[in-house]
Structure 1
């Protein structure tokens, strides 16, 4: 086994650790990691690794280090579990490793859940592995898009739903920071399809041209222009950047028009995150698994999944106009890709697809 280890208190300190795999335990299966996406979302996982327990999914032998989770495809290479067969391919939460073991429970025709004890405190969505052969959202032509966007699109779709279907009051304008990030693009796509909502993108000067080229936003502004923002009617701020000074500028610029302030991620992971006093509304953290579980109870899981699947495939197709997957293979390539992602040096028009 070859594992990519990241020092928990210094995300730039990384190395590969190789060890002989132990004999496969009873009730377990061994999966070979085939490919995965690496995005700013994975940096958020590492940044909040302690607070949100992301390091707990795939523990490292040395507690000073961790294995950050990624989304991708893996193939069963060994199995001591009925219904989980060698050669079956799954989509789900993976470590950056060449292989890893799971303890499948709740095995069905469509999926299984990793029942290993240390993962049970986390949301079920992270512990579920879906067989590609039985996945209605799987299309071999869009594997790269699935790795890059499936979990991120779900986040964007749920934010759209929370703002426009269950939120009160419903905003007329949505301001979105880190507008070039993949989850922000997914949210903007959903809002554009809905219609009647003014979307205002906030981005860096370097990414402005890309954000404008997507055609997903009504207006695009740079961070330098935030103190001069204006918005039509009631406004929501969806923050993917996580920079308190920017949040304060948005709140102070919009003042009485701002009715919701939602925190999603931290693409500015090295920035000063010391809280700044803000006028109301106070920022609220949006945790997708909790909201999704509530919506599944209200709508019914089948209805919710059908809505998501239909929207997801539409976004896969749309994303081909503004984002191209870039495949890289091997430990050195993964190491380089991790540092490029930390440094925000990956072009927003590129989606990294990595293989051990």
Structure 2
């Protein structure tokens, strides 16, 4: 074993502002397992969302531990430092879901692209959540000096936005049977427009050019969102009454704030053809209830689950075509991000808790991405 002690950041499940850093003994490997050192991981509002929905969507079960604390998964790069699996070599490097920790042990099965986590606790999870891609087989790999940082921060978020935009573009598969793209809408309203998932969605929607792209954001972020050039109009949350209610519309909600969503539904009413819920960047907003959803004007919001859409697109496009489309789109997005996204490195074990606190408390500007290097 490379290290005798593993440092892990744990989050209190019912009070996610609270975190603790614990040291645990490194576990010996069983047959088929690999030990990986976590090189760098992203800490964004999405990680906060994973904690908020940890029970509902089983994020706490990725790397289980005893309640009341839990381990939040993060998109990361990691290197194999010890292997009891003849198909996986020491020194190989992978992109995927890892704990916010210095290292972890995974029960691995080699795949065409890398390996799959086949731990008993991972069996209920979607395949995309259990997949780790070897950098040697990764069509998206960016070998620029800041490439890994940008992909750690953006890849998972962008691909969610990419898939959501593709969903609207073919109206959830309805275009094949004669339905118009974007459910016949002329505009799409994007809630939490400064979030990285929203920016990825907006970039794709603007490029496609089917609908007018309207961004809703906090007053403090309006100028930043305008500067991106992906939104035709940018409004603050208290300006929802300026949304054009004469145009058939769809909405995509990354905020998860029932007050803001309610205002959008109230303004657009029956002109709202589809309401999609993706994330919850406003983690401190009141929880939405079934009664809240039932009281909304217009359609009932529908949750978008990216892993389901991955499966649909792989079946429709084929795995190779799907991978190439994602790689082409992600490469363009990552390159463009160099004009608006600054990397904030947090180095060392002690930096993990402060990084969590800063992101949780909203102390990170939308044009900054936090990358933690736990073993630095």
Instruction: Give TM class, smaller chain.
Output: over 0.9
- Cα deviation for residue 68 of structure 1 reads 0.2
Tell me, what secondary structure is at the counterpart of 1:83? coil
The separation in 1 between residues aligned to 2:287 and 2:224, in whole angstroms, is 27
Alignment of 1:52-63 (within 5 A): 52-60=57-65, 62-63=66-67
Deviations 1:24-82 (A, max 9, x none): 1121110000001111011010000001000000012x221111000010000000101
Between stretches 213-222 and 191-200, larger displacement belongs to 191-200
Deviations 1:66-116 (A, max 9, x none): 1100001000000010121111111110100100001111x1452110100
Q: Among 135, 138, 141, which residue is 2:138 paired with? A: 135
Would you say 1:78 and 2:82 are equivalent positions? Answer: yes
Q: Among 332, 351, 370, which residue is 1:314 paired with? A: 332
* Number of residue equivalences: 354
User: Under a length normalisation based on structure 2, what TM-score does the superposition of the two structures give?
Assistant: 0.92
For the Cα contact (< 8 Å) 2:245–2:267, is it kept in 1?
Answer: no
Q: Among 83, 98, 104, which residue is 2:102 paired with? A: 98
Would you say 1:125 and 2:125 are equivalent positions? Answer: no
Alignment of 1:3-42 (within 5 A): 3-42=8-47
In 2 relative to 1, CA 236–16 (structure 1 residues): closer, same or farther, beyond 3 Å? Answer: same
Structure 2 spans left out of the alignment, 5+ residues: 1-5, 173-178
For the Cα contact (< 8 Å) 2:41–2:372, is it kept in 1?
Answer: yes
The separation in 1 between residues aligned to 2:58 and 2:346, in whole angstroms, is 28
- Cα deviation for residue 280 of structure 1 reads 2.4
For the Cα contact (< 8 Å) 1:93–1:126, is it kept in 2?
Answer: yes
Alignment of 1:163-312 (within 5 A): 163-167=168-172, 168=179, 169-230=183-244, 233-275=247-289, 276=292, 277-312=295-330
Tell me, what secondary structure is at the counterpart of 1:103? strand
For the Cα contact (< 8 Å) 2:102–2:349, is it kept in 1?
Answer: no
The separation in 2 between residues aligned to 1:52 and 1:274, in whole angstroms, is 16
The separation in 2 between residues aligned to 1:311 and 1:170, in whole angstroms, is 25
Would you say 1:157 and 2:162 are equivalent positions? Answer: yes
The separation in 2 between residues aligned to 1:134 and 1:303, in whole angstroms, is 15
Where in structure 1 do 4 or more consecutive aligned residues deviate above 3 Å?
Answer: none
Tell me, what secondary structure is at the counterpart of 2:17? strand
Would you say 1:344 and 2:370 are equivalent positions? Answer: no
Aligned match of 1:148:
153
- Cα deviation for residue 5 of structure 1 reads 0.8
For the Cα contact (< 8 Å) 1:324–1:349, is it kept in 2?
Answer: yes
Tell me, what secondary structure is at the counterpart of 1:246? helix
The separation in 1 between residues aligned to 2:134 and 2:288, in whole angstroms, is 43
Tell me, what secondary structure is at the counterpart of 1:325? strand
For the Cα contact (< 8 Å) 1:327–1:353, is it kept in 2?
Answer: yes
The separation in 2 between residues aligned to 1:170 and 1:328, in whole angstroms, is 45
For the Cα contact (< 8 Å) 2:139–2:324, is it kept in 1?
Answer: no
- Cα deviation for residue 6 of structure 1 reads 0.6
Between stretches 252-261 and 228-237, larger displacement belongs to 228-237
The separation in 2 between residues aligned to 1:309 and 1:234, in whole angstroms, is 32
User: Under a length normalisation based on structure 1, what TM-score does the superposition of the two structures give?
Assistant: 0.97
Between stretches 188-197 and 346-355, larger displacement belongs to 188-197
- Cα deviation for residue 166 of structure 1 reads 3.4
The separation in 2 between residues aligned to 1:200 and 1:166, in whole angstroms, is 19
Deviations 1:207-228 (A, max 9, x none): 1111111111000000011133
For the Cα contact (< 8 Å) 1:164–1:170, is it kept in 2?
Answer: no
